[in-house]
Amino acid sequence: MKLKSYYTDYIKTKAIDLGFISCGISKSGFLDDEVKRFEKWLKNNYHGKMSYMERNFDKRMDTTKLVEGSKSVISLLYNYYPTEQIDNNKNFKISKYAYGRDYHFIIKDKLKILIDEIRSEVGNINGRVFVDSAPILEKAWAKKSGLGWIGKNTNLISKKSGSFFFIAEIIVDLELNYDKQIKDYCGSCTACIDACPTNALYEPYKIDASKCISYFTIELKENFPEQLDEDFKNWIFGCDICQDVCPWNKFSKPNDEQLLKVKDEIKNFSKKDWIELTNEVFDFAFKDSPINRTKYQGLKRNIKYASKQF
């Protein structure tokens, strides 16, 4: 018991040392509470064209199928709230998480250091690191690990940090002390639902992702439907509306990660610059950015659609 507590405290301390703002731990296994909800979500086609959400259902529900013999899921939060606020009231808008370098590289490097630290302290353990790149329900595990609650906008919300953070996991075959879930603090607030311009948040705690601006501008790889008549509010990559209006994000604090610092192009581009963006400039400016996920043609599609509306 003492050794288990020592390892638990050691991991959480090292996580904070590496820049994570929170670390919670839960028992690896089957997510009983998520099965019916997720099945219904898929059946209603709320995932749109994201067919990858239909694959590996068993692994999404059971982390012991992702890491055989695993006993613990270590969930971590990494702050991306920007140090510099962009005045984009009259410009096209980019989601805050994409202001700087691609977070996958930044966080995965830190996770690899952390798991190496754990192995040096504990011994040869079996484990894997995950950053938004595997069939794992990250928000559900973070909730189970006591890092926050799932808000009415379907994002994980922390009382002390808001919701502008990345979620990552390390799944290991090491038994640790497990954290307890916390209660929901959304109360009667419906700010996120009221602010959503496309009605993607059709009910509290429920999202039709196929109507979300982030889905259209990032996930959808084909042309927009001809009958599409949604107001994207100038967003050309992602959308932060439901987070921007959330009262809990008054507790968001700027991150100190230099690699997440806003790119000059995002900070200085005018609407005219975005509209006239060439493939060469795109490749140079966004080669190591999350924005590269849309590819040049995808971003130009988004800009063209947003330009028609305003």
Phi first, then psi: what are they for 226, rounded to 5°? -60, -35
Q: Is the dihedral of CA 62, 17, 290, 226 positive or negative?
A: positive
Q: How far is Cα 292 from Cα 283, in angstroms, rounded to an integer?
A: 8
| Cβ partners under 8 Å of residue 67, min gap 6 | 28, 126, 127, 128, 171, 172, 173
Nearest of 285, 291, 253, 239 to residue 103 by alpha carbon: 291
Tell me which of 62, 109, 132, 179 is the catalytic residue. 132
Q: Is the dihedral of CA 19, 25, 28, 30 positive or negative?
A: negative
Cβ burial, residue 150 (10 Å; 0-12/13-18/19+):
middle
The confidence band for 89, taking pLDDT boundaries of 50, 70 and 90, is: confident
Task: Mark whether 132 is an active-site residue.
Answer: yes
Q: What is the pLDDT of residue 226?
A: 87
Segment 106-145, tens digit of pLDDT: 999 999 999 999 999 999 999 999 998 789 999 999 999 9
Please answer whether residues 117 and 174 qualify as being in contact, where contact means their C-beta atoms are separated by less than 8 angstroms.
no
Q: What is the pLDDT of residue 310?
A: 44
